[in-house]
Amino acid sequence: MGRFVNVLRGWLVMVSVVALGNTIQSFRDHSFLSEKLYTGSPEFVNGLQARTFGIWTLLSSIVRFFCALDIQNKTLYHITLWTFVLALGHFISEAFIYKTAPLTVGVVAPLLVASFSIVGMLIGYQCITKSQEFTSDQKKRQ
């Protein structure tokens, strides 16, 4: 496993921990979402929406953390990649289609994290696949 994959694992843990913090904040006070993310339509943010957002964020956090632990698991890797694709799609649609989340720091940050994570995971997938092919070739030779 290459150095890049180890950096990716660290990144996934860091993103997971930050998501856990966002989850706690979503359950503590729903104004967090209306003040930081959905500033275009803060009236749409209520306790139910904040808890739903919190559960999604918690699920993403757990999936990303376990992917960092078992980064060789291709199914888990693909699911983790999709968490970032869905997050990117959500924030792009809220910013540009529904106009509930204008491009503030609170929205640009998750857009950048999701984008960088997608690129990093696509590169990491190539590294992991090559590493697994190399390992299987070595076993065949023995």
Please report, as a single letter, which amino acid is at residue 36. Answer: K
CB 124 within 8 A of CB 4: yes
What whole-number distance in Å separates Cα of residue 74 and Cα of residue 85? 16
pLDDT tens per residue across span 12-52: 999 999 999 999 999 999 998 999 999 999 999 999 999 99
- Asked if residue 71 belongs to a domain, the reply is yes
> Residue 97 sits in which domain range?
3-136
Length of the chain counted residue by residue: 142
All residues at 6 or more sequence positions from 8 whose CB lies less than 8 Å from its CB, including other chains: 71, 120, 121, 124
Nearest in space to 87 (alpha carbons), one of 120, 109, 65, 62: 109
Q: Which residue has the higher pLDDT, 83 or 1?
A: 83
| The overall pTM is greater than 0.85 | yes
141 within domain boundaries: no
Count of domains observed in the chain: 1
Instruction: Check if the beta carbon of residue 63 is closer than 8 Å to that of residue 69.
Output: no
| The pLDDT of residue 21 | 96
pLDDT band, very low/low/confident/very high, at 56 (cuts 50, 70, 90): very high
